Amino acid sequence: MHSALPLHVGAAEDLKHFPQTIPGKIVLAIAASAFLALCAHVSVPLYFTPVPLTLQTFAVILIGLALGPVLGASAMLLYLAEGAIGLPVFSPHGLGGIAQLLGPTAGFLFSYPLAAASAGAVVRMFRALPLDRSQFPVALLGGIAASVFIFVMGAGWIIHFRHVGIGAAWYLAVAPFLPGEIVKVSAAAGIFSALKQWLRS
C-alpha cells in the first residue's frame, strides 16, 4: 500500500521535468507551432492593406514568454519551415507555402523568431528581481519588445516589396494594427502572469 506513494511522487517529478528534456522540448515546439497555426487561421482581411488582421502576434508573444528565447525562437523557425513545405499553417488570406514567405507579409513572418526570442529574453532578464507578486509588468515589457521587432520588420518589408515610403508603410503595416496589438500584448502578458502564479501555488 505504501509503495504506491513514492511511485506516484516519482511520476509527478518526471512529468514536471519532462519539458526540460530534449523530447519534452521537441513536443513543446511542435505544440507551439500548432497553436500559432490555429491563431493564424483566425484571420480577417482588410481592404486597404495586404496584411490581414490575425491572432498570430498574440501567439508569438505568448509562446516567447512561456518557452523562453531559445525554445520560443525554435518553435517559430519550425512554424516557418512547416509553412515553407506547404503545410496549411499560414493565414488563409495569402498564397500559402514558400510564396507566402516571399509575399507582402513576409517581413512579419520572418520577424517571429526574433520577436519570440526578445519576449522570452526580457522576462528572463528580470527573473532575479523581487517580482513574486506578479510577472505582468515584465511580461508586458517583453510583449512590447516583441511587437517592435514585428512592426519594424513587417513595415520594412512592405517598403521593399511595394516600393513605398515610410508614411505609406505606416498606413499599410502599422497604424491599423496598433489598437489590436495593445490588446494582444496585454492578453499574452496576463495569461503568462496568471500561469506563473498558478505554477508557484
Rounded Cα gap, residues 62 and 38, in angstroms: 14
Q: Give every residue of the chain whose pLDDT is below 50, as ranges.
A: 1, 5, 7, 9, 11-12
Q: What is the pLDDT of residues 176-186, one digit of tens each?
A: 999 999 999 99
Q: Is 167 exposed, middle or buried (0-12, 13-18, 19+ CB in 10 A)?
A: exposed
The yes or no reply on domain 4-200 and CATH 1.10.1760.20 is yes
**Per-residue confidence (pLDDT) for residue 176, from 0 to 100:** 96
**Per-residue confidence (pLDDT) for residue 22, from 0 to 100:** 87
Q: What is the pLDDT of residues 27-54, one digit of tens each?
A: 999 999 999 999 999 999 999 999 999 9
Q: How many Å separate Cα 34 from the centre of its chain?
A: 11
Domain boundaries, the chain: 4-200
**Per-residue confidence (pLDDT) for residue 198, from 0 to 100:** 83
**Per-residue confidence (pLDDT) for residue 13, from 0 to 100:** 53
**Per-residue confidence (pLDDT) for residue 21, from 0 to 100:** 85
pTM for the model: 0.89
**Per-residue confidence (pLDDT) for residue 135, from 0 to 100:** 86
Q: What is the pLDDT of residues 13-34, one digit of tens each?
A: 555 666 778 888 999 999 999 9
Q: Where are the beta strands (DSSP E) in the chain?
A: 43-44, 53-54
Rounded Cα gap, residues 109 and 61, in angstroms: 13
Q: Which residues contact 149 (CB under 8 A, 6 or more apart)?
A: 111, 114, 115, 118
Rounded Cα gap, residues 137 and 99, in angstroms: 38
**Per-residue confidence (pLDDT) for residue 1, from 0 to 100:** 47
Rounded Cα gap, residues 148 and 54, in angstroms: 17
Residue 126 in grid coordinates? 528580470
In order of 26, 64, 107, 154, 190, the CA distances from 159 in angstroms are: 36, 27, 10, 9, 33
